[in-house]
Amino acid sequence: MQGFFRKTLTTVLAFILAPLLILPVAQAKKPQEPSLAPIILVVGDSISAEYGLKRGSGWVTLLQNTLIKEKFPHRIVNASISGETTSGGANRIDALIKQHSPSIVILELGGNDALRGLSIKATHENMDRMAKTVRNNRSELMILGMDIPPNYGMQYAAQFRNIFKKVSTQHKAVYLPFLFEGFGQDLSAFQPDRIHPNEAAQEKILANVWPLLKPLLLKTVS
């Protein structure tokens, strides 16, 4: 009788403990979490923050859709803020880099500096600081340049334009001279304020950015 109970107890314990013994093996066989996708960090102003646009219609969202369509693994973090200046970007860049560890950073700032008539020297220093931080992190860098109307003064406009070129050259960044190339003079491509591109123009912005960005994408997945 004792043998019978011992055998029964052994069977019951085996039944109870079996899932516990199998569980570690089952856990080991679960698919691993996918590795984190390379991050593209966009640090911009209202042009990249979809000011006045339907959510999800801006060029940054269109870029993410293109990445998926073209089967690039990158994921975009859009850290753009309407009204942002290069000073604001420079104050935020360290924390953004630390938080997201981006493979690529796209800087789209400076327009608000010009609209407010801020110092060329200060704008240049802020852009330089951001670029230096990005490159020290060994991230690839793309700088989107901007032009301003000549009514701000020909000298100021020329100096402002040269900021982006100088910083790009110094830090070996990919450089797009004018984000609104091909439609900057077409008022039908802008919202009533004549500053912010409308929804129809977002594809044109993407068309300017994509050919220069694509080599960086290939570089960061090779």
Sign, CA torsion 152/80/210/203: negative
Active site residue 193: yes
Q: Which amino acid is at 99?
A: Q
46, 103, 139, 168: the active-site residue: 46
- Residue 87 CB-density burial (10 A; 0-12 exposed, 13-18 middle, 19+ buried): middle
35, 188, 193, 222: the active-site residue: 193
Rounded CA separation 58/25 (Å) = 47
Sheet holding 104-108, edge to edge: 75-78, 39-44, 104-108, 140-144, 174-176
Active site residue 168: no
| Element of type H or E holding 108 | strand 104-108
Q: Return the HEC string of 143-188.
A: EECCCCCHHHCHHHHHHHHHHHHHHHHHCCCEEECCCCCCCCCCHH
74, 100, 171, 196: the active-site residue: 196
Coil, helix or strand at residue 216: helix
| Element of type H or E holding 140 | strand 140-144
For the stretch 95-108, what's the b/e string if a residue is b when 16 or more beta carbons lie within 10 angstroms of its beta carbon?
A: ebbeebebbbbbbb
Active site residue 45: no
Query: For 39, phi and psi rounded to 5 degrees?
Result: -95, 135
**Known catalytic residues?**
46, 193, 196
